Structure 1
Amino acid sequence: MPLRNRNGEILAETEQILLSASNAVKICLFRLGGIYGPGRELVKIFRRAAGTTRPGNGEDEANWVHLDDIVGAIDFARQHQLQGVYNLVSDIPTTTGKLLELVCTQNNLPPVSWDPSQPSLRPYNAKVSNQKLRAAGYQFIHPEILQTH
């Protein structure tokens, strides 16, 4: 699968270099979704979108992970000596439209409108699964986004 930007290329190269060392040491890599939690509240991230019309239909996948789960998964990986690459995103997937609706509703902001006649500007639209991490035994502290502030 071709990568869309130089940052993605650098991340992929870095992963390969680290994984090539896995014969000598145990390597566990987490691919993080968008990060939210204390200091990274979703309302702060998306407030500017309130009351605007955005291109697309809002059905793009939104892959996010709470700070508590990043810390929890790192500790879990250390305790269980996980090896390999794991996606670290919330259990229950959502879309950008549903996420922005939640942000606006919970924070009394005007809703976002969508213009499906224009293509979405999001560079990535992939439904990411955390199944491998859950199969290893990790239980998410925040399996879905419930609070945006």
Structure 2
Amino acid sequence: MDLTIVGCGYLGLALAERLQLRRPQLRLTLTTTTSERLEQLSPLADRVQVCDATDPAQLLDALRQSSSAVFCLGPKGDRQVDTNGYRHTFVDSFRCLMSLLPQLPNLRQIVYTSSCSVYGDAQGGWVDEETPAEPGRGHGDVLLESEQLLSGISDRRVCILRLGALYGPGRELDRRLRGLAGVERPGNGASYSNWLHVADAAGALEAALDGEWIGVVNVVNDEPIRLRDLVGKSLQRQGLAPVHWLGHDEPGSAGRRIRNTRLKQLGYELQHPNVDQSGVFSASQVP
């Protein structure tokens, strides 16, 4: 298998490091949007290149030798909070990919790391891959549009992994949450979040490639956790004052609890089935 990882941020880098350790014979291409990272990435792959996935020439060059591609896209800079930036990063990239597919006959497998945020708020209820995605307007809406573009590709094997909030080395929960010690917060902290250790995200990506998974798969750990419990355990562990919750949460803010049944049916065994209470924090947006 010849593989390209498009986007080597937190997760893309973790996948590249995993594959370099476990499968050094794999012919691997890595892309980054900044030339400053070429030196860091070059020991992990046969080919490393700067690539804006919305640029047809750059994306074609990145994919031309590969039979499989993993898209670990992520906005940078102010795109973290800007919906138009999200649309450029995700939707425009996959429109570019679709335009190039006739020139990529050897690319048979596409895996995309999406987010559980596409489900929107389920009032604290359980959801699975059969639950209609209703993200509303914003980042989740853009990610769902990206999924729909890929789902329309009929002549390749396409797998969409909907990930929980990533945590792991370098994203310390305690450091992020200690600033909440003793402060007043709106709501009652009853909303659910769904988490995933970065090692399991990378492991599921490798399993998806090896097993040639198709369709949507939720990739989360076994235990959704309420915000007040997550924050409370972290502050207690650090010997800090608890948050003072001011009242009831607003309607539509209870979150959702994500089932990972299909992930297990496909044979993936989680290394970290619960949130690691030694404490590593996820991405800035908690699905």
The two structures have a TM-score, normalised by structure 1, of 0.87
SS in 1 for 2:143: helix
Q: Partners of 2:244 and 2:200 in 1: how far apart? A: 31
Matches within 5 A, 1:54-73: 54-73=185-204
Deviation at 1:2, TM superposition (A): 4.3
What is the aligned partner in structure 2 of residue 14 from structure 1? Answer: 146
Matches within 5 A, 1:31-42: 31-42=162-173
Structure 1 position 143 matched with structure 2 position 278: no
Q: Partners of 2:181 and 2:211 in 1: how far apart? A: 42
Alignment deviations for residues 76-98 of structure 1 (CA, whole Å, 9 cap, x no partner):
11111111111121112211111
Contact 2:135 2:141 in 1 (8 A): yes
Deviation at 1:108, TM superposition (A): 2.2
Structure 1 position 102 matched with structure 2 position 233: yes
What is the aligned partner in structure 2 of residue 131 from structure 1? Answer: 261
Q: Partners of 1:45 and 1:20 in 2: how far apart? A: 39
- Letter in structure 2 aligned against 1:84: G
What is the aligned partner in structure 2 of residue 25 from structure 1? Answer: 156
Aligned residues: 147
What is the aligned partner in structure 1 of residue 215 from structure 2? Answer: 84
Structure 1 position 93 matched with structure 2 position 215: no
Q: Partners of 2:180 and 2:259 in 1: how far apart? A: 26
Contact 1:55 1:121 in 2 (8 A): no
Q: Partners of 1:4 and 1:63 in 2: how far apart? A: 19
Unaligned runs of 5+ in 1: none
Deviation at 1:123, TM superposition (A): 5.2
- Measured at CA, do residues 74 and 86 of structure 1 come closer, stay the same or move farther in structure 2, by a change above 3 Å? same
Unaligned runs of 5+ in 2: 1-132, 281-287
Alignment deviations for residues 38-67 of structure 1 (CA, whole Å, 9 cap, x no partner):
111112332222221222222210111111
Name the Cα RMSD after superposition.
2.0
What is the aligned partner in structure 1 of residue 70 from structure 2? Answer: none
The two structures have a TM-score, normalised by structure 2, of 0.47
- Letter in structure 2 aligned against 1:110: A
- Measured at CA, do residues 86 and 11 of structure 1 come closer, stay the same or move farther in structure 2, by a change above 3 Å? same
SS in 2 for 1:99: helix
Deviation at 1:72, TM superposition (A): 0.8
Q: Partners of 1:71 and 1:11 in 2: how far apart? A: 20
Q: Which 10-residue stretch deviates more, 56-65 or 40-49? A: 40-49
Deviation at 1:17, TM superposition (A): 0.8
- Measured at CA, do residues 122 and 53 of structure 1 come closer, stay the same or move farther in structure 2, by a change above 3 Å? farther
**Percent same amino acid among aligned pairs?**
33
- Measured at CA, do residues 51 and 34 of structure 1 come closer, stay the same or move farther in structure 2, by a change above 3 Å? same
- Measured at CA, do residues 29 and 88 of structure 1 come closer, stay the same or move farther in structure 2, by a change above 3 Å? same
SS in 1 for 2:185: strand
SS in 1 for 2:222: coil
Structure 1 position 114 matched with structure 2 position 245: yes
Contact 1:57 1:120 in 2 (8 A): no
SS in 2 for 1:27: strand
